């Protein structure tokens, strides 16, 4: 897993609420092998539609942070929604709420997802629209965000999640260190629910 | 006596192997469901040189990309579809897990197949690389969708790192009004709490109305928990559940049945248990619903009108409504029953079980479709049952297409698509932009309402058909 420690980058304001997984990664691209890359899949159909999408606005070129509204990444379990963001160069999404599965998937690829109050997200987006290309800094160790105007905003994150991101820990390697505990649990579980054993 | 517990607490405790210092649990997975879309996880596993820890706990069937015109492998000509369907079968053979392939009568949408085969049972932790895994909460399982990396983790270890969700109870007491189906109940819930209202929570649905639902209806309600933002939603098992499961192929056999039922009876929220959030809805206020927008929370009574952005509560909402109306091709204030549709789809893990097809056929039999309408049964078993009952004949006589089972037009990965700018009355679960195909316009509703829309060519109140 990729580490996340500290990032300073231009930030992209995405004003719409309910940016769902199907906008982040339309279904017809989901069978593409991971190694082929997903950068062009991100917001694919919105980018092709009349008016385009802000992600292609040259004033926000090189953005590494998304500041969104509520329910970002709601919908499907497709991890391709995260791959699309990461492959397009984004390492952090700030929103007032996230789809739960998207939130879980994001950390597996070093994409830091931060929840802030909706009013704070709105103020950040307004500042980014006023000064396109403005940089923000996200410091996971200190759990702070530096807004375009220099204001420092603190954020909360679950301790286990923070540790995994800071150290780039691999879940499977970690879990395999508990192999004995899993084995013991499993034996007891099979004894308790014998009807789950297939003949 | 120990503290009163919710059913969610009880299942969690029974499956928690350990909890790390940060409060994240290592949870044991009872049963893992897989489908053709799980291909990435199997590829990752292979790349790491790992193999499934417990193949006997994996159950798979192709659904997302399977054609509905024919289930004959020779007709599976799309190279991408062929690759993923073939890969699932190859993985099943290689690792030795249960697989209901194309041509097998037990094949179907994985969330229809799990309960139908008795694989899904009360008190289990069930995961699958699909967000509608919440469906299995309808039989009293704690079930939730996971992404490809987590699927790989479950394959390798039969466990998952996950923080215990907060708990929410949604209680609906009272009698069900005429014309109201499980779909209308869950759309009402989503409209009430919002598409993200259940985020971070596991839901228990309770109350006399919920308790009166049969298992298929419960599966529909739990299925759309994720559309309310909750990764899982469940209904405590009871006699209705036990009766449903008894005798199913993978349910406990006669030698274990009594012990299993005894353990299942303990799976109920204790008197006095505290939920993090409580929501109550009044059954008498429920009514047939349709969606008008691009989020499942955009649901209104069929007697309602398209929202007017001028009455929005703030700028963001006004902008969102304007964008939605533009995409959906709707005019503010128009009556929903004046919205004409181009086609109808009846199917998906939300509404493709036998009772859904009976309800749709009961309406279809009263007229003739004036727009293209398609029915895709939730499994090959459901299809056979429907044909034995003559439902296929009713649909065909009314001008509906009768297809094979699969996810079909709900996600459009198998080529069953709604064309750009076309409007579909659909029994599926998501009305997102482009969900049924680029530029598609989706209105969600119950099977009876979708069948009614096929006969009239517009969104229709099923109660008006007489």
Contact state of A108 with B147 under an 8 Å Cβ cutoff: yes
Q: Which residue of A has its CA nearest to B416?
A: A28
Residue at token pair 């007891």: A188
Q: What is the largest CA-CA distance in chain A?
A: 66
Minimal CA separation from B29 to chain A, in Å:
10
Across B388-399, average pLDDT: 98
Q: Give domain B7-277's CATH architecture.
A: 2-Layer Sandwich (3.30)
| A137: closest CA of chain B, how far (Å) | 25
Per the DSSP assignment, residues forming a β-bridge with B206 are: B171
Q: Is the pLDDT of residue B1 over 60?
A: no
Q: What is the bridge-based pairing of β-strands B31-34 and B58-60?
A: parallel
The first and second tokens of residue B194, run together, are: 């919002």
Residue A63, token pair as written in the block: 């953005």
**pLDDT at residue A2 in the model:** 82
Asked whether A147 and A11 are in contact (CB, 8 A), the reply is: no
Cβ separation B412–A195 shorter than 8 A = no
Chain B interface test: which of A96, A143, A195 (most B C-beta within 10 Å): A195
Chain B residues with CB inside 8 Å of A74's CB? 195-196, 229
CB spacing of B147 vs A17 below 8 angstroms: no
Question: For the residues B405-411, what does the mean pLDDT come to?
Answer: 96
Cβ contacts of B319 on chain A, cutoff 8 Å = 15-16
Q: How far apart are CA B149 and CA A81, in angstroms?
A: 13
Residue ranges in chain A modelled with pLDDT below 50: none
Say what the pLDDT of residue B466 is: 63
Give me the mean pLDDT over the B14-42 stretch: 96
What's the whole-number average pLDDT of chain B?
97
Q: A75 in contact with B at a CB cutoff of 8 Å?
A: yes
- Name the residue among B26, B147, B412 with its Cβ closest to that of A79: B147
Distance CA A56, CA A149 (A): 24
- 3-state class of A28 per DSSP? helix
Beta-carbon pairs below 8 A across chains A and B = 188
pLDDT band at B298 (very low <50, low <70, confident <90, very high): very high
User: Does residue B145 sit in helix, strand or coil?
Assistant: strand
- Chain B residue numbers with beta carbons less than 8 Å from the beta carbon of A30 are 37, 413
CA–CA min distance B23, chain A (Å)? 7
Token pair 């820890």 is found at B53
When pLDDT is averaged across residues B233-249 and rounded to a whole number, the result is: 98
User: With an 8 Å Cβ cutoff, is A186 touching chain B?
Assistant: yes
C-alpha distance from residue B87 to each of A130, A196, B43, B82, B277 (Å): 50, 26, 10, 8, 43
Structure-block tokens of residue A193? 């629910």
Record: contact A172-B84, CB cut-off 8 A? no
**Nearest one of B38, B46, B78 to B62, comparing CA atoms:** B38
Break chain B into its structural domains and give their ranges: 7-277, 292-465
Check if the beta carbon of residue B55 is closer than 8 Å to that of residue B97: yes
Whether B68 and B376 have beta carbons less than 8 Å apart is answered as: yes
| Separation of alpha carbons A151 and A127, rounded Å | 12
pLDDT at B341 over 60: yes
A82 contact B CB<8A: yes
Q: Which of A19, A23, A31 to mutate to test the interface with B (most CBs of B within 10 A)?
A: A31
How far is it, in rounded angstroms, from Cα B42 to Cα B149? 10
Asked if residue A23 lies in contact with residue A46, where contact means CB atoms within 8 angstroms, the answer is yes
Contacts of A85 in chain B (CB under 8 A): none
Whether residue A27 and residue B18 make contact (CB cut-off 8 A), yes or no, is no
Among chain A residues, CA nearest to B121: A196
- Of B208, B205, B229, B230, nearest in space to B219 by CA: B205
Q: What is the 3-state secondary structure (H, E, C) of B347-399?
A: CCCCCCCHHHHHHHHHHHCCCCCCCCEEECCCEHHHHHHHHHHCHHHHHHHCC
> Residue B152: its chain A contacts at CB < 8 A?
172
- Per CATH, B7-277 and B292-465 having the same topology is answered yes
**How much of chain B, in percent, has pLDDT values that exceed 70?**
100
CB A76 to CB B162 under 8 A? no
Radius of gyration of chain A measured on its C-alpha atoms: 19
Partner residues linked to B24 by β-bridges: B163
pLDDT at B13: 98
A98 Cβ contact partners less than 8 Å away, ≥ 6 residues apart: A71, A72, A73, A74, A106, A113, A115, B199
Question: For B170-229, what is each residue's pLDDT tens digit?
Answer: 999 999 999 999 999 999 999 999 999 999 999 999 999 999 999 999 999 999 999 999
Chain B CA closest to residue A34:
B40
Residue with the two structure tokens 């309408």: B373
Could you tell me whether strands B24-28 and B16-19 are parallel, antiparallel, or unpaired per DSSP bridges? antiparallel
Q: Which helix (H) or strand (E) holds B154?
A: helix B148-157
CA distance A33 to chain B (A): 7
pLDDT band at B74 (very low <50, low <70, confident <90, very high): confident
Task: Kindly indicate the confidence band of residue B75, based on its pLDDT and cuts at 50, 70 and 90.
Answer: confident
pLDDT value at position A150?
Answer: 97
**Of the candidates B23, B40, B65, which has its C-beta nearest A34's C-beta?**
B40
The 10 Å Cβ neighbour count of residue B165 is 21
Say if residues A155 and A143 touch (Cβ distance below 8 Å): yes
Residue range B386-390: average pLDDT? 98
Question: Which residue spans within B110-229 are E strands per DSSP?
Answer: 125-128, 142-145, 159-163, 166-173, 201-206
pLDDT score recorded for residue B261? 98
Question: Which positions ≥6 away from B425 have C-beta within 8 Å?
Answer: B290, B341, B343, B344, B345, B443, B445, B449, B450, B453, B454, B459
pLDDT of residue A13: 98
Instruction: For residue B403, give the nearest of B71, B23, B58, B43 by alpha carbon.
Output: B71
User: Residue B104 CB: number of other CB atoms within 10 A?
Assistant: 15
Q: Which of helix, strand or coil describes residue B443?
A: strand
Output the pLDDT for position B46.
96
- Asked whether the predicted pLDDT for residue B422 surpasses 90, the reply is yes
Q: Using a pLDDT cut of 90, give the percent of chain B over it.
A: 96
Under CATH, which architecture does the B292-465 domain have? 2-Layer Sandwich (3.30)
Query: What distance in Å separates residue A71's CA from the closest CA in chain B?
Result: 6
Identify whether the C-beta of residue A107 lies closer than 8 Å to the C-beta of residue A127.
no
| DSSP letter for each residue of B242-292 | HHHHTT-TTS--HHHHHHHHHHHHT-SPPTTPPPSEEEEEEGGG---EEE-
Name the closest residue on chain B to residue A70, using Cα atoms: B196
Question: Which 8-state DSSP code applies to residue B22?
Answer: T
Q: Give chain B positions within 8 Å (CB) of A178.
A: 17-18, 26
Report the C-alpha gap between B362 and B367 in whole angstroms: 10
Residue of A nearest to B120 (CA): A196
Return the bridge partners of A114, or none. Answer: A94
């Amino acid at each position: 897993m990729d580490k996340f420690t500290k990032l300073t980058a231009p930030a992209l304001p995405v004003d719409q609420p309910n940016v769902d997984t199907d906008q982040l990664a339309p279904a017809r691209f989901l069978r593409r092998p991971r190694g082929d890359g997903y950068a062009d899949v991100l917001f694919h159909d919105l980018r092709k539609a009349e008016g385009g999408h802000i992600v292609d606005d040259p004033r926000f070129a090189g953005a590494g942070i998304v500041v969104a509204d509520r329910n970002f990444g709601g919908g499907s379990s497709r991890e391709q929604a995260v791959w699309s963001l990461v492959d397009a160069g984004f390492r952090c999404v700030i929103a007032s709420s996230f789809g739960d599965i998207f939130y879980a998937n994001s950390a597996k690829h070093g994409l830091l997802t931060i929840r802030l109050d909706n009013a704070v997200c709105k103020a950040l987006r307004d500042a980014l629209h006023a000064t396109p290309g403005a940089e923000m800094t996200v410091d996971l160790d200190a759990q702070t965000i530096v807004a375009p105007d220099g204001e420092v905003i603190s954020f909360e994150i679950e301790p286990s999640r923070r540790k995994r991101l800071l150290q780039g820990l691999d879940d499977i390697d970690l879990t395999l260190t508990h192999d004995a505990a899993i084995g013991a649990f499993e034996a007891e579980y099979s004894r308790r629910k014998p009807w789950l054993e297939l003949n | 006596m120990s503290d009163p517990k919710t059913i969610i607490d009880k299942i969690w405790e029974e499956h928690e192997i350990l909890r790390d210092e940060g409060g994240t649990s290592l949870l044991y997975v009872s049963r893992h469901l897989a489908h053709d879309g799980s291909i990435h996880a199997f590829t990752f596993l292979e790349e790491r040189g790992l193999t499934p820890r417990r193949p006997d706990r994996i159950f798979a069937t192709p659904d997302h990309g399977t054609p509905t015109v024919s289930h004959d492998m020779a007709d599976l000509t799309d190279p991408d579809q062929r690759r993923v369907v073939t890969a699932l079968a190859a993985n099943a053979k290689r690792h030795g897990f249960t697989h209901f392939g194309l041509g097998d009568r037990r094949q179907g949408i994985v969330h229809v197949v799990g309960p139908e085969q008795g694989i899904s049972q009360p008190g289990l932790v069930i995961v699958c690389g699909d967000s509608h895994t919440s469906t299995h909460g309808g039989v009293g399982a704690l079930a939730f969708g996971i992404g490809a990396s987590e699927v790989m983790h479950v394959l390798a270890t039969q466990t998952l790192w996950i923080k215990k969700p907060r708990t929410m109870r949604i209680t609906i007491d009272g009698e069900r009004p005429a014309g109201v189906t499980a779909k209308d109940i869950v759309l009402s819930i989503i409209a009430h709490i919002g598409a993200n209202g259940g985020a971070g929570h596991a839901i228990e649905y309770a109350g006399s109305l919920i308790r009166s639902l049969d298992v298929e209806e419960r599966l529909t309600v739990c299925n759309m928990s994720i559309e309310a933002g909750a990764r899982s939603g469940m209904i405590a098992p009871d006699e209705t559940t036990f009766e449903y499961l008894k005798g199913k192929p993978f349910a406990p056999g006669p030698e274990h049945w009594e012990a299993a039922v005894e353990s299942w009876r303990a799976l109920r929220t204790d008197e006095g248990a505290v939920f993090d959030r409580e929501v109550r809805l009044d059954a008498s206020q429920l009514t047939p619903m349709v969606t008008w927008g691009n989020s499942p929370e955009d649901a209104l009574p069929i007697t309602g009108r398209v929202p007017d952005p001028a009455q929005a509560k703030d700028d963001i909402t006004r902008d969102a409504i304007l964008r939605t109306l533009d995409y959906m091709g709707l005019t503010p204030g128009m009556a929903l029953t004046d919205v004409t549709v181009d086609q109808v789809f009846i199917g998906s893990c939300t509404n493709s079980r036998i009772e859904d097809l009976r309800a749709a056929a009961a309406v279809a039999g009263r007229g003739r479709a004036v727009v293209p309408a398609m029915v895709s049964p939730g499994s090959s078993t459901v299809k056979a049952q429907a044909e034995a009952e003559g439902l296929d004949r009713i649909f065909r006589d009314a001008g509906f297409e009768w297809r094979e089972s699969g996810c079909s037009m709900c996600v459009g990965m198998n080529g069953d698509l709604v064309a750009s700018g076309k409007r579909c009355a659909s029994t599926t679960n998501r009305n997102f932009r482009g969900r049924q195909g680029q530029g598609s316009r989706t209105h969600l509703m119950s099977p009876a309402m979708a069948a009614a829309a096929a006969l009239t060519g517009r969104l229709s109140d099923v109660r008006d058909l007489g």
